[in-house]
Chain A
């Protein structure tokens, strides 16, 4: 798959934990129930303190975000193992996160669910890009183009085909690890 994802970026800093991505009070929503999946999207990143993030990721009353790309600093997605975190972001319309580093379980959950691509940045992008800046993530060249310049991204490697397939189940079926599903 060759592609470029472009659009306005939403920028956050270090240690955005799963409570800020999807606060615990919304965990009663079950992601595999379609209406509740949509609802989770409407709450994506709602736990960010307003004092630091006056612009919301998803506007009040909306279920989708204007920002398909999230740019973060270190340890994005730390905290709990809740898969609601990448799912809420994916449900809101986030397609790719570019962070300096990820917490292990969040990274793994992105792959398992196939909700979004977790790219690793090679520079501190969250200092160079502002929320609303137009950016382009190029999957062929493994780079991000921003108003502050073009920067290399660490290749997704073995992770990309799994997310392309739509998550571990589809990937495991495509590669014959588990039997195809009877419909």
Chain B
């Protein structure tokens, strides 16, 4: 069996499963956030009754992250719905944005954005945070009401996005009926050359198989190249399985994975025992492709879909109005460090926005010193508009007052994951997806730029 088949078989209490089987599996963790949490709770109450209790309060993780630093009243009402539910059910893993139990915000009118006010529990963008807070474990099943839940596949688990109704069902029963997907294997060889990141791998792959090339399928990564990748790069790769239509992405288990998971579960006192799935000799793939990482170059997905691939070096005629770094895909500490390596000591030529994925990233950037100055200060010094309010921000547009949102037609290069029309705000705007390196180099020139010339 493939890695995905092995996780699913175990969760279904079966010795063997094959693609196409419809099986009931037990969920290990259910993740939800402020956009889909209220609807999931609504479904749960409607179907199981007003006084119903969730199936297991230790297996639900709620992370408000989408529309949280806004004056929009419906958005804030939605986080209140989460607060009430958490209180009523006694859920231990709720990462509220602020400590005020009534959820009162302070909006700084003069600045046009909410001042930094996240509380001691705030975790940040759910997919980055769920791993950082020790809720991702090898061999487990994670369902989340968000399509990028697949990011957790980096940790050798089955993780996939579902809708509110399915999530409401799990909330009440702990189970879900799913179809075992076929597996596509990407066998990675070699190591990434200078200036090329995990983001380039996945943009390359989506360009190769197409925006729907993995629909209904699992994407499994193997080979020496896969083990070479640090966890952050693996997370970027599995994060975008959904941009190829994939059900999940998954990596094998190794020491790097163990080190990350063990550290994080210990730090946060979450469940620390787990049983990884190992690679079988006998695996059946619907697609099998070898990719030599050493041959990859900085890659861009052009407007209007993530499969519209081109090499950065061929797009230098494309003029830009804006650059953006952030999101679950591109807002990790390593992403900002790569970005800062390029802009440090220079000045950006176009409006450039930076949104760390989690408060921990903010902390890291403020406490990493380069030449006697924090990385955060280097970024600000280069003219990047940074916010301390870690969240999804303009990755998905959001309410009109969202930080970095495009409120008129523009061209933007972004370290995020999606570039369909309207994704980052105005529906006539154009978004180009690229690695943090490429976004940084392009911010300096105002047109799409191959970053390698900036890395000496």
* Contact residues in A for B173 (Cβ distance below 8 Å): 178
Distance between Cα atoms of A47 and B168 in the complex (Å): 27
B-contacting 9-mer, from A13-21, A55-63, A90-98, A147-155? A13-21
Distance between Cα atoms of A182 and B35 in the complex (Å): 29
B-contacting 9-mer, from A1-9, A105-113, A124-132, A136-144? A105-113
B203 contacts the other chain (CB 8 A): no
Question: Which of A15, A112, A169 contacts B211 (CB under 8 A)?
Answer: A15
Whether B78 pairs with A112 at a CB distance below 8 angstroms is no
Distance between Cα atoms of A105 and B161 in the complex (Å): 7
Question: Which of B42, B72, B166, B427 contacts A23 (CB under 8 A)?
Answer: B427
Whether B163 pairs with A109 at a CB distance below 8 angstroms is yes
Known A-B contacts A25-B399, A178-B173; A81 and B245 likewise in contact (beta carbons under 8 Å): no
Whether A19 pairs with B166 at a CB distance below 8 angstroms is no
Shortest CB–CB separation between residue A36 and chain B, in angstroms? 8
Main secondary structure of the interface of A (DSSP, over half): loop
B43 contacts the other chain (CB 8 A): yes
Known A-B contacts A83-B165, A101-B215, A169-B47; A23 and B67 likewise in contact (beta carbons under 8 Å): no
* Category for how many chain B residues contact A: 35 or more
B381 contacts the other chain (CB 8 A): no
Whether A80 pairs with B422 at a CB distance below 8 angstroms is no
Whether A28 pairs with B72 at a CB distance below 8 angstroms is yes
Distance between Cα atoms of A31 and B422 in the complex (Å): 22
Shortest CB–CB separation between residue B128 and chain A, in angstroms? 17
Q: Count contacts on A: residues with CB < 8 A to the other chain.
A: 44
- Nearest-neighbor residue (CB-CB) of A30 within chain B: B38
Whether A28 pairs with B67 at a CB distance below 8 angstroms is yes
The A8-63 residues at the B interface (CB cut-off 8 A) are 15, 17, 19-20, 23-25, 27-33, 47-51
- Nearest-neighbor residue (CB-CB) of A113 within chain B: B165
Interface centre among A15, A50, A74 (most CB of B within 10 A): A15
Distance between Cα atoms of A33 and B78 in the complex (Å): 12
* Contact residues in B for A27 (Cβ distance below 8 Å): 35, 66-67
Distance between Cα atoms of A20 and B149 in the complex (Å): 21
A167 contacts the other chain (CB 8 A): yes
* Contact residues in A for B420 (Cβ distance below 8 Å): 15, 17, 19-20, 78-79
A165 contacts the other chain (CB 8 A): no
B396 contacts the other chain (CB 8 A): yes
Interface centre among B49, B169, B177 (most CB of A within 10 A): B169
What sequence of 0s and 1s flags, for each residue 212-250 of chain B, a beta carbon within 8 Å of any chain A beta carbon? Answer: 100110000000000000000000000000100101000
* Contact residues in B for A102 (Cβ distance below 8 Å): 215
* Contact residues in B for A112 (Cβ distance below 8 Å): 163, 165-166, 169
Distance between Cα atoms of A116 and B123 in the complex (Å): 36
- Nearest-neighbor residue (CB-CB) of B168 within chain A: A169
Whether A103 pairs with B245 at a CB distance below 8 angstroms is yes
* Contact residues in A for B75 (Cβ distance below 8 Å): 28
B302 contacts the other chain (CB 8 A): no
* Contact residues in B for A101 (Cβ distance below 8 Å): 212, 215
Whether A30 pairs with B39 at a CB distance below 8 angstroms is yes
- Nearest-neighbor residue (CB-CB) of B72 within chain A: A28
Shortest CB–CB separation between residue B29 and chain A, in angstroms? 16
Whether A81 pairs with B147 at a CB distance below 8 angstroms is yes
Shortest CB–CB separation between residue B82 and chain A, in angstroms? 11
Whether B421 pairs with A105 at a CB distance below 8 angstroms is no
B305 contacts the other chain (CB 8 A): yes
* Contact residues in B for A109 (Cβ distance below 8 Å): 163, 165-166
Distance between Cα atoms of A101 and B49 in the complex (Å): 36
B146 contacts the other chain (CB 8 A): yes
Shortest CB–CB separation between residue B168 and chain A, in angstroms? 8
* Contact residues in B for A172 (Cβ distance below 8 Å): 169
Known A27-B35, A105-B163; further 19 A-B contacts with Cβ < 8 A:
A17-B420, A19-B396, A23-B422, A23-B427, A28-B67, A49-B427, A49-B428, A50-B427, A75-B211, A75-B215, A81-B145, A81-B149, A83-B164, A84-B39, A102-B215, A108-B162, A113-B163, A169-B43, A169-B47
Q: Could you list 19 A-B pairs, sorted by A, with CB under 8 Å?
A: A17-B423, A19-B422, A20-B420, A28-B67, A28-B78, A32-B39, A32-B43, A47-B421, A48-B421, A80-B146, A81-B144, A81-B147, A83-B165, A103-B215, A109-B165, A112-B169, A113-B163, A169-B43, A169-B47
